[in-house]
Amino acid sequence: MSRPIVATINQQALRHNLAVVRQAAPASRVWSVVKANAYGHGLARVWQSLATTDGFALLNLEEAILLREQGWKKPILLLEGFFQPDDLHLIDRYRLTTSVHSNWQIKALANATLSAPIDIYLKVNSGMNRLGFRPEQVNAAWQKLRALNNVAEITLMAHFADAENPDGLIAPLQRIEQAAEGLTCPRSLANSACTLWHPEAHYDWVRPGIILYGASPSGDWQDIASSGLTPAMTLSSEIIGIQQLRAGDGVGYGYRYHATQAQRIGVVACGYADGYPRHAPNGTPVSVDGVMTQVVGAVSMDMITVDLTPCPQAGIGSRVELWGEQVKIDQVAKAAGTVGYELMCALAPRVPVQLS
Ligand SMILES: *Cc1c(COP(=O)(O)O)cnc(C)c1O
């Protein structure tokens, strides 16, 4: 028999979460963000569950080509734009929309020979100081692009550093207004946090990622508990060993946990080589046969150890949910000092994936 760990992707949850996005931003079109292999869910596996979206946004040409080869005909947006002038051949051939964040890209567009003009997302630096033109540079960049035969529609695009914060958009939106002064063009600003919490920033196209997969943009499950979002990925395994501890016994590497009384411990076939966070401390939530309990002892490469005190019926073969509908990925991530984004993206290739 194969090792019992498996990741299950709930297709209905993906469809449902896209419907939640539509409800939250009813007047906007939706770029479903499927970068990083659909946040670890597997792009080839999941894009059809999101096929009522208006477009897919991602980073790699390889991922864009995969979507085209599998039959996706509607728009595809390259969120980081192209990485070298040569990429424009494939962008042209596969009819992709590309962001433009630097002057060298405008020059490359001017020099390229394309079969037809392409749509451009002109990236404004909202103050985050990652990609994009500063507000005072945007008009000149827009004019240069507008003058090119290779350019079709231009949309203003920006990203926010602090959209989880109720006041986090005030200064960035002012910068975007400054950038857009005198320009008539569509805008795309909103990531998941904006889509849920900042209707004033929805504009023409929203760009949700994490909420499509049913996790929280803020890292706190509570923040999306009432939004109706459903976790799309469940990571589950089984108990493959039991230890009966006596008071004072230690568990695992470094004896990071010691029993203070007699205690049953379950050994679970899941470790950091599966993508479970090695930093998960004692107390990280996990469920066994549907009962909430916790990790005790250090996470090792292939195993974790869990307290079976709340579930005395549990034994070899009991089902363990590492994250999913019951144990929210945000709760596990938070315990381990990270965010759900990182855990889902880090699901290891050795974990078999099934669709449900
Ligand atoms: C990743 C990304 C998004 C989606 O972010 P979420 O927080 O997952 O919604 C949107 N826009 C850009 C430019 C991105 O890189």
pTM over 0.85: yes
Is 341 a known active-site residue?
no
In this structure, the residue with its CA closest to atom 4 of ligand 1 is 209
Q: What is the mean pLDDT of residues 173-183?
A: 90
In this structure, the residue with its CA closest to atom 6 of ligand 1 is 209
**What share of the chain in percent tops pLDDT 70?**
100
Question: Over 70: is that where the pLDDT of 1 sits?
Answer: no
155 Cα to the center of ligand 1, angstroms = 16
* pLDDT for 166: 85
* pLDDT for 165: 85
33 Cα to the center of ligand 1, angstroms = 7
* pLDDT for 277: 98
Each residue of 101-155: pLDDT tens digit? Answer: 999 999 999 999 999 999 999 999 988 899 999 999 999 999 999 999 999 999 9
- Residue to mutate (ligand 1; options 21, 30, 32, 33; most atoms within 8 A of CB): 33
Indicate which residue of 144, 253, 255, 334 is catalytic. 253
Question: Over 80: is that where the pLDDT of 59 sits?
Answer: yes
208 Cα to the center of ligand 1, angstroms = 6
Mean pLDDT of the chain: 96
Residues listed for the chain: 356
- Residue to mutate (ligand 1; options 189, 207, 330; most atoms within 8 A of CB): 207
Residue 196 to residue 199: CA distance in whole angstroms? 7
Q: How confident is the model at residue 169 (pLDDT cuts 50, 70, 90)?
A: confident
Point out the ligand 1 atom lying closest to the alpha carbon of residue 99: 13
Point out the ligand 1 atom lying closest to the alpha carbon of residue 208: 9
Lowest mean per-residue pLDDT among 26-40, 90-104, 163-177, 251-265: 163-177
- Residue to mutate (ligand 1; options 28, 63, 79, 162; most atoms within 8 A of CB): 79
Residue 329 to residue 333: CA distance in whole angstroms? 6
Helical axes 103-111 vs 135-146, angle rounded to 10°: 0
Q: Dihedral, CA atoms, 109, 111, 113, 118, nearest 10 degrees?
A: 10
Each residue of 194-252: pLDDT tens digit? Answer: 999 999 999 999 999 999 999 999 999 999 999 999 999 999 999 999 999 999 999 99
Residue 207 to residue 188: CA distance in whole angstroms? 7
Q: How confident is the model at residue 346 (pLDDT cuts 50, 70, 90)?
A: very high
Is 203 a known active-site residue?
no
Question: Over 70: is that where the pLDDT of 160 sits?
Answer: yes
Whether 233-355 and 11-215 are alike in CATH topology: the answer is no
Q: Residues near ligand 1 with C-beta < 6 Å? A: 33, 35, 79, 159, 191-192, 207-210, 217
Place of tokens 């080869």: 69
Residue 227 to residue 206: CA distance in whole angstroms? 17
Residue 157 assigned ligand-binding role: no
* pLDDT for 188: 97
In this structure, the residue with its CA closest to atom 14 of ligand 1 is 79
Task: Please tell me the CATH code under which domain 11-215 is placed.
Answer: 3.20.20.10
Indicate which residue of 35, 123, 328, 334 is catalytic. 35
209 Cα to the center of ligand 1, angstroms = 6
305 Cα to the center of ligand 1, angstroms = 35
In this structure, the residue with its CA closest to atom 15 of ligand 1 is 79
Q: What is the mean pLDDT of residues 151-162?
A: 94
Query: Considering Cα of 338, then 344, then 347, then 352, what sign does the dihedral take?
Result: positive
Residue 207 assigned ligand-binding role: no
Lowest mean per-residue pLDDT among 8-17, 163-172, 292-301: 163-172
Q: How confident is the model at residue 71 (pLDDT cuts 50, 70, 90)?
A: very high
In this structure, the residue with its CA closest to atom 1 of ligand 1 is 209
* pLDDT for 162: 87
191 Cα to the center of ligand 1, angstroms = 5
> Structural domain boundaries of the chain?
11-215, 233-355
Point out the ligand 1 atom lying closest to the alpha carbon of residue 39: 8
CATH superfamily of 233-355: Lyase, Ornithine Decarboxylase; Chain A, domain 1 (2.40.37.10)
| Phi/psi of residue 209, nearest 5 degrees | -120, -80
C-alpha 161 chain-centroid distance: 16
Each residue of 263-309: pLDDT tens digit? Answer: 999 999 999 999 999 999 999 999 999 999 999 999 999 999 999 99
In this structure, the residue with its CA closest to atom 10 of ligand 1 is 191
Residue 27 contacts by C-beta under 8 Å, 6 or more apart in sequence? Answer: 202
